[in-house]
Amino acid sequence: MPNRFFDEVVTKDIRFNLASVERVNLNKNDEQSIESDTSQTLVIKPMNTVLPTIRKELYARPLLRGLSDSITRGDLVLYTMLKDKTFYFGPLNTKNNPNFSPNHYHHKELDSRGKGSSRTKNSMGYGKNYPAIAISKIEKQRNNILDDLGPEYETSKHSDMLLEGRHGNAIRIGSRSISPVLNISNNNISSTESLIQGSLISMMSVGSILQHFGTPNSSVPFLLSTDNNIEGRENYKLNLGNVGLENTFDYNYGEIIDNDEDQIEFDQILICSDRITFDARAENKGDFTISANSNINFGARKNFTLNNAGYSVINSHNIYLGLEAQNKTEPLVMGDELRKFLLEMMTIILDSRALVHGVKIPLVDKDTTTPIINRVQRMIDELQPRTYEVDEEGVEDLTKPLITNTRNDITRFFSQHHYTEKNRQTVTT
């Protein structure tokens, strides 16, 4: 008697039986039932009854919490009954193809008499409008460089963990030798992930991009879109711009080289698609941050635009506009320093006089012979220092300059939107 409970627990069988899927519920609107959430629930028909054409439909829910495979009418599943609930597991991988795995037991007599219409089903039991397309199961190709298994490849190779959708998307949790690889791919057109079709996020722990995704006979290396040859645009590739560096993007990063015991480059992430959008949408803290311990490089085959409703700050040791600007032959002009220079020059003109027989005579216009002192004074008024907004205590806010100067004249060559910093002061020794 003391061991009765233990004996019942370890000896009680949980049996699974075959069933064919009759209906798939995708959401709460598909079918009213006892479930509060009908997502991924099924109506199934058992296949182990005495009369296979007259079977009671069962309402089944996924066996595993939080994990449900893609399923459709006509698939084959395993089901079990625990107390008053029916659970299913599947669909079964009848053809080892992620898109097409119909019930291979199917025949016309499996459908209940007088129920349903054969016109809505094909010969395999799938719905006639089921989107069946030629999709290959994701494969793991041999890679002599990254696998590092030597002549014992056949006995030492291992497969990857794969999660595949029905229409060409997959998650690969795999490895090359002892180096893990994680790939998330979408719209695959072949049995392996591609850099030229669909979308791919790849996390590699060793090896270059070409060593992972290149083909043995490939003569074209992996290139970024900005580095593809464009006639007349050779000077706009991503690998230009950094002084002293021939390539700012290292295409060979992580590359395995024979007998290289000093390799320190390993992990990298690659994201590629026809279009990529990042959007940080939180109203107050929706920041998008990029940080690098070395270089940050942006490249575009057409245009690069930057738009923001607030202010923009470029805090850099040196800023160069154009490749040739790195030669430092054409420095930019600082507005306030230019104002001081012009003010000094106009003041000199204002103070200048012609000396005729010892008498000082003001400079005059060459055409009208009228003194030019008024014209010079107007320019001097424009060149006076700018004014600033004043706070409630009457203190000037130097972060809020006004376009007008001390004489309320407009300094026309000052921008209201663009500013630069002063030159760094040199130390005199």
DSSP secondary structure letters along 64-91:
STT------TTBEEEEEEETTEEEEE--
Per-residue model confidence (pLDDT) at position 34: 62
Mean pLDDT in residue range 234-259: 74
- What's phi and psi for 385, nearest 5 deg? -60, 150
Does residue 407 have a pLDDT over 70?
no
The single-letter code of the amino acid at 146 is L
Q: Is pLDDT of 175 > 60?
A: yes
Q: CB count, 10 Å around CB of 149?
A: 17
State the CB neighbour count (10 A cutoff) for residue 423: 9
- The pLDDT confidence band at residue 35, using thresholds 50, 70 and 90, is low
Q: What is the percentage of the chain residues whose pLDDT exceeds 70? A: 82
Cα(291)–Cα(303) distance, integer angstroms: 23
The mean pLDDT value of the chain amounts to 82
CB-side exposure of 240: number of CA atoms within 13 Å? 14
- Tell me if 375 sits within 8 A of 364, measured CB to CB: no
Q: pLDDT band for position 216 (50/70/90)?
A: low
Q: Which residues of 272-290 are buried (b: 16+ CB within 10 A; e: fewer)?
A: beeeeeeeeeeeeeeeeee
**187, pLDDT greater than 90:** yes
**pLDDT number for residue 190:** 87
Q: Are 200 and 183 in contact (CB under 8 A)?
A: yes
In this prediction, residue 362 carries a pLDDT of 82
Residues with Cβ within 8 Å of 284's Cβ and at least 6 positions away in sequence, in order, are: none
Q: What is the mean pLDDT of residues 322-326?
A: 83
Tell me: cis bond preceding 91? Omega within 30 of 0 counts: yes
What's the CA gap between 199 and 195, in Å, rounded?
8
Q: Based on the number of CB atoms within 10 Å of its own CB, is 142 exposed (0-12), middle (13-18) or buried (19 or more)? A: exposed
Nearest residue to 384 (alpha-carbon basis) of 411, 362, 418: 411
